[in-house]
């Protein structure tokens, strides 16, 4: 009988010893829904991993930008430095797109390059090509062939083109040619129509002819007879 009574006491002690172990186990387990462990910070000097933000204190180093010249001075004219060489040279009076493309090739400059980023050596080459424009272009592309005073073939640009144009108009006025007289009167010179456009002076609109006062009465008297 004594043996039977000892067994239940031992089992009770074993249950009591296991209880504190089971209670301590859930306390050590991580809670569900808690914050994830922070990732280890990268070592100093190491490249940042893809998809991770860099620390706020350290800013990314900015690359130095090339300086651009917004105005490039060639032949006493300010050219747009933000446009291509092909279009920037057209800012000079007397130079079109075809002429500027030819000059850029003669100067060994890329016509599609930005004007403001060109090194000074290439800009000097463009200046030399413009100064010797008569020899760098074929004769049929020149804008002043068989000059009236010298008989030479030239290509005028800038202020030279403006002054020569004024001199030609004054010459036509002096010799009293048809074009010179039209220039004096301020009318159209190149054969345009002037019935509805190009009206100068006091004439404005259309003026109808007034009927004679006696004409209507005479016609009425004839009908009555």
**Nearest Cα to 51, choosing from 64, 61, 62, 42?**
42
CA contacts within 13 A on the Cβ side of 142:
17
Cα–Cα–Cα angle for 23, 27, 31, nearest 5°?
140
66's tokens = 């090339």
Contacts of 26 (CB under 8 A, 6+ apart): none
**Burial annotation 91-115 (CB, 10 A radius, 16+ → b, else e):** bbebbeeebbebbbebbebebeebb
The crossing angle, in degrees rounded to 10, of helices 159-174 and 178-185 is 110
Give CA angle at 60 (55, 62), nearest 5°. Answer: 165
Q: Using CA atoms, how far apart are residues 225 and 220, in angstroms rounded to an integer?
A: 9
Three-class DSSP labels, 118-144: CCHHHHHHHHHHHHCHHHHCCHHHCCE
pLDDT score for 217: 58
Residues of the chain with CATH 1.10.8.50: 71-140
Which residues of the chain are modeled with pLDDT < 50? 1-2, 22, 24-26, 57-64
Cα 139 to Cα 153: distance, rounded to the nearest angstrom: 7
- Residue 148 is predicted with a pLDDT of 85
pLDDT at res. 215: 60
User: What is d(CA 157, CA 133) in angstroms, rounded to the nearest whole number?
Assistant: 10
Please state, in angstroms and rounded to a whole number, the distance separating the CA atoms of residues 6 and 46. Answer: 69
pLDDT for 101: 94
**Domain 71-140 part of CATH 1.10.8.50:** yes
pLDDT at 188: 94
Asked if 78 contacts 72 with a C-beta cutoff of 8 angstroms, the reply is yes
């Amino acid at each position: 009988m004594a043996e039977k009574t000892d067994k239940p006491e031992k089992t009770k002690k074993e249950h009591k010893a296991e209880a504190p172990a089971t209670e301590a186990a859930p306390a050590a387990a991580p809670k569900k829904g808690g914050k994830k462990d922070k990732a280890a910070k990268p070592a100093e000097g190491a490249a940042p991993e893809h998809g991770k933000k860099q620390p706020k204190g350290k800013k990314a180093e900015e690359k130095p930008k090339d300086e651009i010249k917004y105005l490039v001075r060639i032949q006493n004219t300010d050219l747009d430095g933000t446009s291509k060489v092909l279009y920037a040279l057209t800012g000079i009076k007397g130079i079109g797109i075809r002429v500027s493309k030819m000059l850029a090739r003669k100067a060994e400059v890329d016509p599609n390059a930005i004007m403001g980023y060109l090194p000074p050596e290439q800009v000097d080459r463009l200046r030399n090509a413009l100064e010797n424009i008569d020899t760098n272009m074929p004769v049929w592309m020149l804008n002043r062939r068989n000059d009236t005073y010298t008989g030479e073939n030239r290509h005028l640009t800038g202020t030279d083109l403006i002054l020569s144009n004024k001199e030609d108009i004054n010459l036509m006025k002096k010799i009293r040619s048809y074009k010179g007289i039209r220039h004096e009167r301020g009318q159209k010179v190149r054969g345009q129509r002037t019935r509805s456009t190009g009206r100068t002076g006091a004439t404005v609109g259309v003026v109808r002819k007034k009927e004679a006062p006696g004409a209507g009465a005479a016609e009425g008297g004839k009908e009555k007879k």
